[in-house]
Structure 1
Amino acid sequence: MHSEVVDQALPAPSASPGRRRRKSPPFWLRIPLMALVLVAALPLFYVVARASETGLLVAWQLLWRPFVFGLLANTLKLMVLVTLGCATIGLALAWLVERSDLRGRRQWNVLLCLPFAIPSFVSGFTWISISPMFEGLGGTVLVMILSKYPLIYLPVAATLRNLDPALEESARMLGYNRRQIFWRVTLPLLRPALMATSLLVAVHMLVEFGAPSIMRYQTFTTAIYQQFELEFSNANAAMLSALLLALCMLMLWGEFRLRGRGFARTGQGAARRSAPVRLGAWAVPAQLALVALVAIGCGTPLSMLGFWIVEGSSASFPLMTILETLGSSLSLSFGGALLSCLLALPVCLVVVRYHGRLAWLADRLPYLLHALPGLVIALSLVFFALGYVPALYQTASLLLIAYALLFMPMAQGPIRVALEKASPQLEEAARTLGHTPMSTFLRVTLPIIFPAIGAGFVLVFLDCMKELTATLILGPTGLDTLATAVWSHTANLEYAAAAPYAALLVLVSGLPVYLLTTRAYLRQQGA
Structure 2
Amino acid sequence: MALLALVPLAYVASYVVIIGPVDLWQLIARPRIAELLRNTVTLALACMAATSVLGVALAVLVERTDLPGRRLWHGLLVAPLAVPAFVNGYAWVSLDRSINGFGGAFLVVTLSYYPLVYLPVVAMLRRLDPALEESAWSLGHSRTRTFRTVVLPQLRPALLGGALLVGLHLLAEFGALSLLRFPTFTTAIYDQYGSTFNGAAATAMAGVLVLLCLVLLLAELRLRGDRRYARLGRGAARGAVPLTLGTWRWPLVATVGAVVVLAIGVPAFSLLRWLLVGTSTEFPLGELTQALVSTVVLALTGAVATTLAAIPVVWLAVRHRGWASTVIERSTYVANALPGIVVGLALVVASLRVVPVVYQSAGLLVAAYAILFLPRAVVTVRAGLEQAPVVLDDVAHGLGLGPLATARRVTLPLIAPSLGAGAALVFLAISTELTATLMLSPIGTSTLATEFWSASSELRYGAAAPYALLLVLVSIPATVLLMRTDSPATATAVVEERVPA
- What's the TM-score bracket when you normalise by the shorter of the two chains? 0.7 to 0.9
The 1-side partners of 2:46 and 2:315 are apart by 40
1:136 aligns with 2:101: yes
Q: Residue in 2 aligned with 1:52?
A: 17
The 2-side partners of 1:199 and 1:356 are apart by 21
Query: What residue identity is the alignment partner of 1:121?
Result: F
- 1:268-283 to 2 correspondence within 5 Å? 269-283=235-249
Range 107-116 or range 385-394, more displaced = 385-394
Deviations 1:258-315 (A, max 9, x none): 2324398989734344433222111111111112211111111112111112224885
Q: Residue in 1 aligned with 2:181?
A: 216
Q: Residue in 2 aligned with 1:245?
A: 210
1:77 aligns with 2:39: no
TM-score, normalised relative to structure 2: 0.82
Number of aligned pairs? 481
Q: Residue in 1 aligned with 2:471?
A: 505
- 1:349-428 to 2 correspondence within 5 Å? 363-370=329-336, 373-388=339-354, 392-408=358-374, 410=376, 414=381, 417=385
Alignment CA distance shift 1:376-1:454 (3 Å)? same
Residue from 147, 150, 156 that aligns with 2:112: 147
How far did residue 141 of structure 1 move? 0.9
Deviations 1:33-71 (A, max 9, x none): xxx454333223212221222221000000000000000
Q: Residue in 2 aligned with 1:206?
A: 171
Alignment CA distance shift 1:476-1:223 (3 Å)? farther
Residue from 49, 74, 79 that aligns with 1:109: 74
Q: Residue in 2 aligned with 1:89?
A: 54
Residue from 467, 471, 476 that aligns with 2:437: 471
User: Does structure 1 retain, via aligned residues, the 8 Å contact 2:85–2:108?
Assistant: yes
User: Does structure 2 retain, via aligned residues, the 8 Å contact 1:121–1:211?
Assistant: yes
The 2-side partners of 1:339 and 1:277 are apart by 42
Q: Residue in 1 aligned with 2:223?
A: 258
The 2-side partners of 1:314 and 1:265 are apart by 55
Range 470-479 or range 58-67, more displaced = 470-479
Alignment CA distance shift 1:297-1:49 (3 Å)? same
Alignment CA distance shift 1:173-1:524 (3 Å)? closer
The 2-side partners of 1:339 and 1:184 are apart by 39
User: Does structure 2 retain, via aligned residues, the 8 Å contact 1:395–1:475?
Assistant: yes
Q: Residue in 2 aligned with 1:230?
A: 195
Query: What residue identity is the alignment partner of 2:45?
Result: V
The 2-side partners of 1:459 and 1:109 are apart by 17
- Identity, % of aligned positions: 43
SS at match of 1:285: helix
Q: Residue in 2 aligned with 1:118?
A: 83
User: Does structure 1 retain, via aligned residues, the 8 Å contact 2:52–2:117?
Assistant: yes
Query: What residue identity is the alignment partner of 1:523?
Result: S
Q: Residue in 2 aligned with 1:21?
A: none
User: Does structure 1 retain, via aligned residues, the 8 Å contact 2:8–2:335?
Assistant: no
Range 370-379 or range 42-51, more displaced = 370-379
Deviations 1:350-396 (A, max 9, x none): 77999999867655543444555544322321332455555644443
Q: Residue in 1 aligned with 2:496?
A: none
The 1-side partners of 2:62 and 2:56 are apart by 10
SS at match of 1:134: coil
User: Does structure 2 retain, via aligned residues, the 8 Å contact 1:189–1:266?
Assistant: no
1:523 aligns with 2:487: yes
Q: Residue in 2 aligned with 1:22?
A: none
SS at match of 1:269: coil
User: Does structure 1 retain, via aligned residues, the 8 Å contact 2:171–2:337?
Assistant: no
The 2-side partners of 1:89 and 1:498 are apart by 31
Q: Residue in 1 aligned with 2:303?
A: 337
User: Does structure 1 retain, via aligned residues, the 8 Å contact 2:307–2:377?
Assistant: yes
Q: Residue in 2 aligned with 1:434?
A: none
Question: Please, which runs of 5 or more residues in structure 1 have no aligned partner?
Answer: 1-35, 432-439
The 2-side partners of 1:364 and 1:185 are apart by 28
Deviations 1:411-448 (A, max 9, x none): 566599599877896899798xxxxxxxx97x997799
The 1-side partners of 2:449 and 2:401 are apart by 46
Alignment CA distance shift 1:315-1:378 (3 Å)? closer
Q: Residue in 1 aligned with 2:265?
A: 299
Query: What residue identity is the alignment partner of 1:157?
Result: V
Alignment CA distance shift 1:39-1:68 (3 Å)? same
The 1-side partners of 2:315 and 2:155 are apart by 32
The 2-side partners of 1:168 and 1:429 are apart by 38
Q: Residue in 2 aligned with 1:310?
A: 276
User: Does structure 2 retain, via aligned residues, the 8 Å contact 1:163–1:266?
Assistant: no
Q: Residue in 2 aligned with 1:68?
A: 33
Query: What residue identity is the alignment partner of 1:228?
Result: Y
SS at match of 2:487: helix
Q: Residue in 2 aligned with 1:286?
A: 252
Range 250-259 or range 168-177, more displaced = 168-177
Residue from 298, 319, 339 that aligns with 2:285: 319
SS at match of 2:363: helix
The 1-side partners of 2:409 and 2:136 are apart by 47
Range 281-290 or range 158-167, more displaced = 158-167
Deviations 1:174-200 (A, max 9, x none): 555444555565545545543443233
